[in-house]
Structure 1
Amino acid sequence: MTPSTTRQQLTTVGPGTVRLARIAAATFSVGMAAFAAIPLAEVLEGPPGVRVAIGVALITALTGCYLWLGVRAVLGRNARLDLWVLVAMTALNVAVPFAGGASWLSLGFMLPFAFAVTLAGRPAWWGFFAAIVLNVALAVPQELNWVLFSGLQSLLTAAALAGLTIFATLLSELQRTREELARLAITEERLRFARELHDVLGHNLSVIAMRTELSMRIPSAQRSRLHGELTEIHDIARRSLHDVRAVVKGYREMSLEKELAGVRKVLESAGVKCDFADLPSSVSAEVSVALAWAVREAATNLLRHSDATVCLLGVESEDDRIRVTVANDGVRQGAAAARAAGVEATVGGSGLAGLDERLAQVGGTCDRHLEDGWFTLSLDVPSRALAASLTSATGDRK
């Protein structure tokens, strides 16, 4: 079986598989407790007395600790109490040989198993092998062949029990991880939908509002000009409907060139003089899309929150980084402090926050600042998207 086949099978693990693995591990662990009958029978063969009572009590207590830790490990439950139970089990394991006779070695797998499933990491490994060594040392007075056989049997039995229990635990953890990933995927999709819907409708509605305001100022005598403005508004509304449907389906794509041309046309229609520098042709597709959203958001903020007459777009290239600045001279004094802190005047301020997330996904950053009545949005992005930076506030993107 190839590794890819194994991974494919593990990804199909469901609650039923996890339940079956737990039942198998629990059944095996509980069933192995029946070996306690061997030393109990040897103890009970002796004359009734205190030694018999102590032997029965020690063997019963040791088996009880084993079952407690084994079942809790299979169920994936752990608590500080389990460490105290493990300490008590170690003490019982040391005391049993002096009261249970030579057959106590049939229980030699219990303590190593308990260390393996109760502790984690290196302590579990050290505890497992230390318990094996302890049992062999306690059995030294017995015949060498019996000691070696029992030690090997305890090692293999404890390893098999621990492996089955840990495997059931890992399957349970895998199932929980898959459920969590499903929840995160849903959250990520909701955030994507909300962010893109805000960006699409926010920009288009701002343009419609601006053009409607311009249309209201056109004299009634200029009917042809009014008709042209209404036609533009109608086209933007239809395009908005198309964009919303594309966002819902998740198929919306952005073109930096088209976006720059559209932004220039809208701003110039609003009486804003535009001076845009040419962007490098080496920009990757991912970075180009992120910049397209950034330019759209900058234009939306300009239309909503400024009285700009000039909009400048500058480009600087250095090594494998590109710095794009979008500046306008229309800062309103009442909203200056809010925008200087990077907070939109719109409800929730999700536009610039979404812009930060988009740029972060391609390894870029976004800064904004005010100076002498100019508001500047600075975008620093790599010419190629960085695979290690494809992260957002909700998870990884690939």
Structure 2
Amino acid sequence: MTTTRPGGYASGLLGSGLVRLTGLTTHVRRSHAEPAEPAGSAVTTERLRFARDLHDLLGYSLSTIILKCELANRLAPRDPLRAQRELAEVLRTGRQALADVRTVARGYRRMSLADEAESARATLTAARVRAAVRVGARPLPPEVDTVLATVLREGLTNMLRHSKAANCVITTTRTGDTVRLRLVNDGATQQPGPADPEGGLDNLTSRVTRLGGTLDAHHEGEWFHLTAELPLTRAGTSGKRRARRRAEPVQPAVTAERLRFARDLDERLGRGLSLIVRRCERVHGLVPRDAARAQREIADILRISRRTLAEVRAVARDYREAGAPRGAEC
């Protein structure tokens, strides 16, 4: 009878998923030379949207999972109850990321600024950043809600990656038919600006301006300010106008690209997230009984999460390159 090392099957499953994910990257590169205008232009637009969705959704979630796993790994020997709480947050984040993957795969992703604000509060607390979160409860048009939630996610991701923040303030205000989201943090001497493609803020600028809004990112000393301002009156009509402008002949090519992306997203990246969630469920109950083994399991989850995050960024980059005009710099 063959004995399987704990975690061996799961690691093999992850390896299989990542091999298939590499296949998606190869497919994207090969498809760079696909259909001529106008269908080619529409497919290019879809690929760029896929890149943004991968970066905005999974980049944030996996960064949060890594942060909390690192904290749980340090806490396990001396404070197992708190380590369990951090792992519970990892589970919540992982399950939400899985839901996001499946929603994006269906093509109807909607995000809530209020939900993101609560998630931000928990993440900042775990990172030992003093947080003041004041986000209004009044409902927003779906397009505005999704874009502002995305701005908040990306702003927090950049803050955690590029600053040594001790304080963060997140607020929303309404003035007439305008809503404004502000994220301000200290310790931001290395924060990237909106034109830095590695920071992702250029993607946010594109999303905000499509709805007739503005995005501003600047430093004031060691403080970094990110402000998104959107009109409420135009929301809900821009998407309909864009849909009317689409010509029927391009739809089969766009639909095929969406179906291919949906399948690959759910089967490959969804599989990696499922593995992370299952491993966290197992180690959550292990922490009080066997801290040393729990640390080994958490270290394995960290390895999986970092590898999956690297793959997400690589695939997003390849979608951007596949969608870029020929001769353009990426």
Which one of 63, 68, 90 corresponds to residue 206 of structure 1? 63
Which one of 323, 326, 344 corresponds to residue 180 of structure 2? 323
Structure-2 separation of matches of 1:238 and 1:317: 32
SS in 1 for 2:158: helix
1:359 deviates by 0.9
Structure-2 separation of matches of 1:350 and 1:329: 17
Which one of 380, 385, 394 corresponds to residue 234 of structure 2? 385
Q: Does residue 1:371 correspond to 2:182, yes or no?
A: no
User: What residue is the counterpart of 2:112 in the other structure?
Assistant: 255
Structure-2 separation of matches of 1:200 and 1:369: 24
1:273 deviates by 1.6
Contact 2:141 2:236 in 1 (8 A): no
User: What residue is the counterpart of 1:355 in the other structure?
Assistant: 204
1:297-354 CA deviation, whole Å, 9 max, x = no partner? 111111111111111123343332222211001213xx25xx2x4245xxx4262111
Which one of 272, 295, 301 corresponds to residue 129 of structure 2? 272
Which one of 208, 217, 227 corresponds to residue 84 of structure 2? 227
The percentage of counterpart residues that share the same residue type is 37
Which one of 233, 237, 240 corresponds to residue 97 of structure 2? 240
Aligned residue type for 2:98:
L
User: What residue is the counterpart of 2:44 in the other structure?
Assistant: 187
Gap regions ≥5 residues in structure 1: 1-177
Larger Rg: 1
User: What residue is the counterpart of 2:316 in the other structure?
Assistant: none
| Structure 1 residues 235 and 322: CA distance shift in structure 2, 3 A | closer
Gap regions ≥5 residues in structure 2: 1-34, 245-330
| Structure 1 residues 217 and 190: CA distance shift in structure 2, 3 A | same
Aligned residue type for 1:254:
M
1:88-135 CA deviation, whole Å, 9 max, x = no partner? xxxxxxxxxxxxxxxxxxxxxxxxxxxxxxxxxxxxxxxxxxxxxxxx
Structure-1 separation of matches of 2:180 and 2:224: 16
| Structure 1 residues 316 and 280: CA distance shift in structure 2, 3 A | same
SS in 1 for 2:38: helix
Contact 2:130 2:166 in 1 (8 A): yes
SS in 1 for 2:37: helix
Aligned residue type for 1:212:
C
Contact 1:273 1:309 in 2 (8 A): yes
1:294 deviates by 0.8
Contact 1:361 1:397 in 2 (8 A): no
* Structure with more relative contact order (C-alpha pairs < 8 Å, separation 6 or more): 2
Aligned residue type for 1:223:
P
- Deviation >4 Å, runs of 4+: 386-391
Q: How many residues are treated as equivalent by the alignment?
A: 210
1:244 deviates by 2.1
Structure-1 separation of matches of 2:236 and 2:79: 55
Aligned residue type for 1:290:
V
Contact 2:112 2:145 in 1 (8 A): yes
SS in 2 for 1:180: coil
User: What residue is the counterpart of 1:303 in the other structure?
Assistant: 160
| Structure 1 residues 367 and 389: CA distance shift in structure 2, 3 A | farther
Structure-2 separation of matches of 1:369 and 1:300: 16
1:141-161 CA deviation, whole Å, 9 max, x = no partner? xxxxxxxxxxxxxxxxxxxxx
What is the TM-score normalised by the length of structure 2? Answer: 0.57
SS in 2 for 1:349: coil
Which one of 342, 347, 355 corresponds to residue 194 of structure 2? 342
SS in 1 for 2:215: strand
Contact 2:117 2:135 in 1 (8 A): no
Mapping of residues 126-137 of structure 1, within 5 Å? none
Structure-1 separation of matches of 2:135 and 2:91: 31
SS in 1 for 2:198: helix
1:139-192 CA deviation, whole Å, 9 max, x = no partner? xxxxxxxxxxxxxxxxxxxxxxxxxxxxxxxxxxxxxxx963322221222111
1:373 deviates by 0.6
Contact 2:142 2:236 in 1 (8 A): no
User: What residue is the counterpart of 1:216 in the other structure?
Assistant: 73
1:388 deviates by 7.7
1:397 deviates by 5.5
1:177-220 CA deviation, whole Å, 9 max, x = no partner? x9633222212221111101111111011101211221132151
